[in-house]
A = this chain, B = another copy of it.
Amino acid sequence: MSIRKMIALHPNVHGHVNQLLSDAAHHLMYCARMCVSCADACAAEDMQMRDCIRSCLDCADVCEAAGKLAVRHTDSNDQVLRETLELCGRVCDSCAAVCEKYPHEHCRLCAQMCRECAEDCRNAAASVMEPA
């Protein structure tokens, strides 16, 4: 079960996977779901955490979109893909900064995931070439 293996089977890819992009696709999938989970956990805490609910839900939505774009390889949509990955990197960093304000372990884990995903998004964006 691997996103990379699936991408490798695409007829336009035929084994020549962009590793940085497939790493981002993998982490974007996890980060989107981790943020859904963290928002839900924040809603259950006794502490008032509405800024964290908000930023986690926003981050989940942007990661979800970016993660779907990152697995598509039919025709090409490189400028859209690159700019979406760049935005998503900034959104993940912004969400991490909110999670890092809180003492809960789910926030700490979510922030860590967001920071890794942000780094992957930036690397993947740089690997997607400018259109000629």
Q: Could you tell me which A residues sit within 8 Å of B by CB distance?
A: 1, 3, 5-7, 9-12, 25, 27, 29-30, 33-34, 36-38, 40-41, 43-46, 50-51, 53-55, 57-58, 61-62, 64-65, 67-69, 71-77, 79-81, 83-84, 87, 90-91, 94, 104-106, 109-110, 113, 116
Contact = CB atoms under 8 A, between A and B. Distances in A.
Contacts of A36: 68, 71-72
Chain copies in complex: 4
B34 A6 contact: yes
A108 B41 CA distance: 25
Contacts of A54: 40, 43, 72, 74-77
B33 A43 contact: no
A68 B9 contact: no
A84 B81 CA distance: 13
Given A9-B41, A54-B74, A77-B94, 8 more contacts: A1-B30, A6-B109, A6-B110, A36-B72, A43-B54, A44-B73, A51-B74, A83-B87
